[in-house]
Amino acid sequence: MAQSKVKPKQSPSTAAFEPWNDPNEKPLIQFKGVTKRFGDFTAIDNLTLDIFEREFFALLGPSGCGKTTMMRMLAGFETPTEGQILLSGRDIGDVPPNKRAVNMMFQSYALFPHLSVWDNIAFGLRREKRDKDSIASRVDEMLRLTRLEKFANRKPHQISGGQRQRVALARSLAKAPKLLLLDEPLGALDRKLREETQFELMDIQETTGTTFVIVTHDQEEAMTVASRVAVMDEGKMVQVATPQTIYEAPNSVYVASFIGDVNLIRGTANLRNVATAAPAAPESESETKPEPVTKIETDEDPRKPQPNDYGKWLHDRLLAPILGQRVDEPKALPAPTKAELAAAAELQAPVDVPEGGLTIDWAENTPALIAANGDPEFDGNEVVLALRPEKMGIAKTKPDAPNVMRGKVIDIAYLGNISTYHVELKTGTMVKAQVANTRRVSRRNITWEDEVWVSFSATAGVVLTE
């Protein structure tokens, strides 16, 4: 899924790009308590937000949550009912759209039907009173970028929906504005072209330093291109953070379930008593302690080199008279010393079960779940443990993990590179566990109706309140 993608944003050259954490950095756009009402319907509700220069800012949210309205206010087609919008520190309340260094790609494309593709793209450049040659070369460059060279002379009604979308994109890019607003710019493109265009956009952004605000319904796209993602709901920003933070540490159940797949396990939080952590979970202790010992004793590597028939024959004929009969059984390792055991335990313990955090009682007669990263503030509250399916393991035998849950496989969704197991827990809750398909499907040992164990580490989930 999203994190499997190569993110150039994480490359060392741009890794340090975090102007929102720098108090000295001046934001390019500032929303200050902006409210927009249509009649008595509030489309944007008291929005305060800073967007910085060179950012790639993605707006995510369900249909009708106010994304387009926010863009239209930036472009100058709507005026805020309350509050101010500043561009480079200047209130742009009374600056008309044609005087703003902002270009917008419309959700409906808004291509001029009486002009050819070429003239549509040249439209904004002509208004700048540029000379003919520079307009022509810029338009051709845009056509090349969006692969529309062949369609330059066609009218908008003579090209396909995806091609129209690319014309709209090219037209808004042509003027190389300071701020570019893209309202669902790639929705109509096929996956391959969409991905290529995403990278083109990031390239353009890096070379020109344009600030992008992009609306998308595709979370993967937001994750790929954005420096920060804003999740909106009913005119409010629910969370504004980097894609990683949004995905790994959503601040609410809404964000967790809006972005990607998530398992939500409801329960009551209790402060995890560190001192009694070990005895409080006897079942996990009894499983964990002997495990390493038995593991070492019975560890039989089937791939240990064995002679083949020819080797055996050779041995028997040549070496046996001198060295004696060959012993086929693997040689047992000496039992680990106490010091070795202690060292092994020390190595494992802090990795598997960090101290602190919360335990969550989620079902009767089942051990509480451990969330070592849970906020102690939630002690005693009803909480939701949000778990990404790919952080869940699934096994037929009880695994050695701080959190295990029993269940039955109801459904298996094969998605090519991964499989998602839908597991019904003993309590009736359905959870999803995602496993990479490193083996062929036929070799898979878990199948429908199997009793399985679903497991996850003590820090895999995020504890949220509703």
User: Rule CB under 8 A: which residues touch other proteins?
Assistant: 75-77, 96-98, 102-104, 106, 108, 110-114, 123-124, 127-128, 155, 157, 171, 175
376 binds ligand ATP (CB under 6 A): no
Choice between 216 and 227, CB closer to ligand ATP: 216
What ranges in 315-383 are assigned the alpha helix state H?
A: 320-323, 338-352
Give the SS3 label for residue 164.
helix
67 binds ligand ATP (CB under 6 A): yes
* Integer Cα distance of 247 and 242 in angstroms: 9
65 binds ligand ATP (CB under 6 A): yes
69 binds ligand ATP (CB under 6 A): yes
Binding mask 220-259 for Mg ion (x = CB under 5 A): ----------------------------------------
For the chain, helix (H) and strand (E) counts, in that order, are 15, 20
Partner interacting with residue 310 (select from other proteins, Mg ion, ligand ATP, none; CB below 5-8 Å by kind) = none
Report which of 444, 453, 456, 397 is spatially closest to residue 423, judged by C-alpha positions. 453
Q: Which residues pair with 230 in a beta bridge?
A: 59, 240
63 binds ligand ATP (CB under 6 A): yes
Q: Which strand (E) or helix (H) includes residue 142? A: helix 132-145
Residue with tokens 């070795």: 340
Report which of 237, 206, 212, 208 is spatially closest to residue 226, judged by C-alpha positions. 212
Minimal distance, residue 11 CB to ligand ATP, in Å: 31
Minimal distance, residue 66 CB to ligand ATP, in Å: 4
Q: Which strand (E) or helix (H) includes residue 358? A: strand 358-361
Contacts to Mg ion from residues 254-283, by CB under 5 A:
none
What DSSP designation does 176 have? Answer: -
Among the listed residues 38, 112, 313, 414, the single contact to ligand ATP using CB under 6 A? 38
Among the listed residues 28, 57, 68, 121, the single contact to ligand ATP using CB under 6 A? 68
**How many residues lie near Mg ion (CB under 5 A)?**
2
Give the SS3 label for residue 224.
helix
Q: Among positive and negative, which fits the CA dihedral 306, 312, 315, 320?
A: positive
Q: Which among 43-51, 100-108, 194-202, 373-381 is the span making contact with Mg ion, rule CB under 5 A?
A: 100-108
Report CA Rg, the chain: 30
Q: Which among 36-44, 243-251, 441-449, 452-460 is the span making contact with ligand ATP, rule CB under 6 A?
A: 36-44
Neighbours of 180 (CB within 10 A): 25
- Would you say 235 and 43 are in contact if contact means Cβ atoms under 8 Å apart? yes
Report which of 446, 416, 447, 453 is spatially closest to residue 431, judged by C-alpha positions. 453
Partner interacting with residue 65 (select from other proteins, Mg ion, ligand ATP, none; CB below 5-8 Å by kind) = ligand ATP
Partner interacting with residue 63 (select from ligand ATP, other proteins, Mg ion, none; CB below 5-8 Å by kind) = ligand ATP
Among the listed residues 28, 56, 66, 68, the single contact to Mg ion using CB under 5 A? 68
Q: Which among 62-70, 203-211, 219-227, 250-258 is the span making contact with ligand ATP, rule CB under 6 A?
A: 62-70
The residues of the shown chain that bind ligand ATP, judged by CB under 6 A, are 38, 41, 43, 61, 63-69, 107
